Structure 1
Amino acid sequence: MTSVAQPPAHPAELTVVEVPVSDPLVEPLLRELGDEYSARYGGDAHGEMARYPDEEFTAPYGGVLLLLLEHGEPVAGGAFRRCDATTAELKRIWTHSAHRRRGLARRVVAELEREAGIRGYRRVYLTTGPRQPEARGLYLATGYTPLFDTEADPESIGPLPFEKHLTAEAPEGKAAEL
């Protein structure tokens, strides 16, 4: 049996939109993400998805849910919420199962970081589950610092915390660490 690889996404084909959690475009993200969490961890992960009220993902403090659309359909997305005055927490990073291995999660993370920086956050925090090696690899590859022993068995740690300090553009166009 041969498998057909998905063609790479071209930037012109993708649109970033900011929508509230209540937007119908968000429903496939939350449904598939909850199903995946349930498959990996058992139980009803959809309950975990409802742990944070929608208002926490709303401006001015909470992150706006960002979706990458291809031909009007959501293919990847995520959100952030306020942890404190300088820290945003990334949540619900997702790529539709039919669109993985195309760099979309990297783009979502970059867009969320950019938006968090615009809103004045200087640090991003996130956690991922111990049974999500793809997410762990993504965060390490995109410059996040693990706040746990990377040599330990992830199952013995529980949620794996990461952080990243955001940079701001200097007047000359050079990035300056804040």
Structure 2
Amino acid sequence: MQPWDYSIRPARPEDLDAARAVMLDTVYRDFGTGYVPRWHGDVIDPAAAYLTPARHTLLVAVEPADEDVVATAALDALGPAHPPNPREVAERFPSGTTAQLRRVYVRPEHRRRGLARRLVAELLAFAEADGGYRSVYLHTDPSVPGAEGFWRSLGKVVRDEREDAGGGQGIIHFEIPMGR
């Protein structure tokens, strides 16, 4: 199946259970952390996090044959908080003017088909159309297979916590250029 065979659209209320399943499966399988309320509250209530606020969005990729949600990607206007993120990262990407990419997750059997790249392109177009965002930020866990290389292909590293004394959280912080 080619990436253009999938439908990408803003999530509808009827998509939320399936989108939540993609997200929870990812945090359990790929991150190994499972659900952590302080990190994953948006996963439990994606409608409040992404559908209700006007400047936020949740996208889903849907397989055409059976309309299954196989990938998610979200954007909100909340910059990274300090703590747990480094102070200079939080100051560089303030809430309100920062579009933070979140929950770019693809089910394993649908990976390597360009879905994440298409989803991110749609999120960037959403951020540009908003007109109020000045930067696009995300962080990733480099232990997730393929994550670091994917994000390095799209943006620039602004902080790699693995280089900090003690390794910080081991997270890599990225800025993605707008207007790609």
Normalised-by-shorter TM-score class: 0.7 to 0.9
- Report the secondary structure of 1:147's partner residue: strand
- C-alpha separation between the residues in 2 aligned to 1:81 and 1:152? 28
Could you tell me how far apart the structure 1 residues matched to 2:3 and 2:140 are? 28
Aligned-pair identity (%): 26
* 26-35 vs 144-153, greater mean Cα deviation: 144-153
How far 1:126 moved relative to its partner?
Answer: 0.5
Q: 2:153 & 2:113 partners in 1: Cα distance?
A: 15
Superposition misfits of 4+ residues, deviation over 6 angstroms: none
1:98-177 to 2 correspondence within 5 Å? 98-120=109-131, 121-142=133-154, 144-149=155-160, 152=163, 156-158=167-169, 159-167=171-179
Highest Rg: 1 or 2? Answer: 1
Query: Which amino acid letter does the alignment assign opposite residue 156 of structure 2?
Result: T
Contact 1:37 1:45 in 2 (8 A): no
Cα shift readout 1:21-61 (whole Å, capped 9, x = no counterpart): 7723313212212212452xx4x334332267642323312
- Paired residue secondary structure (2:54): coil
TM norm structure 2: 0.73
**Using the alignment, how far apart are the partners of 1:124 and 1:147 within structure 2?**
12
C-alpha separation in 1, matches of 2:72 and 2:42? 18
- Partner Cα separation in structure 2 for residue 157 and residue 107 of structure 1: 31
d(CA) in 2 for partners of 1:151 and 1:127? 13
Seen in structure 2, the aligned counterparts of structure 1 residues 133 and 98 have a Cα distance that, compared at 3 Å, is closer
More strand by share: 1
Deviation, structure 1 residue 134: 1.3
Alignment of 1:30 onto 2:23: yes
Instruction: Say whether the 8 Å CA contact 1:93–1:105 is kept in structure 2.
Output: yes
2:83 aligned with 1:90? no
Q: State how 1:51-62 maps to structure 2 within 5 Å.
A: 54=46, 55-58=48-51, 59-62=53-56
Task: Give TM-score scaled by structure 1 length.
Answer: 0.73
Q: Which amino acid aligns with 1:80?
A: L
Q: Give the Cα–Cα distance (whole angstroms) in 2 for the partners of residues 150 and 140 of structure 1.
A: 15
Structure 1: gaps (5+ residues): 1-7, 168-174
Q: Which amino acid aligns with 2:72?
A: G
**Cα 1:164–1:107 shift into 2, 3 Å:** same
